[in-house]
Amino acid sequence: MPNVTVTVSAETYRRARIRAAELDTSVSAVVAQALDAFAAGAAGTAPRRHRLEELRAKTPAFSAARRLSRDDLYRGRRRR
């Protein structure tokens, strides 16, 4: 397996080691996962994109163009 050398600040490495320990893993494993995801590129997003399109098809009434007035927006908060 090839080795990769990455240069980061001492503070970044310290924080990364702490975070990795919290997740019960290593900095090397985190970097390997990030590189795997990076290498997968667009091919890795195809299933998610397909699922997003399925969900959009199930919600045809949704429209981001429809806006609420300020009064309509805050009316629900006043009832609470």
Half-sphere exposure of 6 (CA within 13 A, CB side): 14
Residue 5 lies in a domain: no
Residue 7: per-residue pLDDT: 96
Q: What is the pLDDT along the chain (80 residues), one digit of tens a residue?
A: 889 899 999 999 999 999 999 999 999 999 999 888 888 776 667 788 888 888 888 876 767 777 778 887 787 666 55
Question: Which residues form the domain of 20?
Answer: 10-79
**CA 12 and chain centroid, separation:** 21
For residue 40, is it within any domain? yes
Q: Output the pLDDT for position 15.
A: 96
pLDDT at 49: 82
**Number of compact structural domains in the chain:** 1
**31 in a structural domain:** yes
- Say what the pLDDT of residue 62 is: 64
Residue 3 forms part of a structural domain:
no
Res 78: pLDDT:
62
26 domain residue, yes or no:
yes
Is residue 57 a contact partner of residue 32, using CB atoms and an 8 Å limit? Answer: no
Q: What per-residue confidence (pLDDT) applies to 77?
A: 65
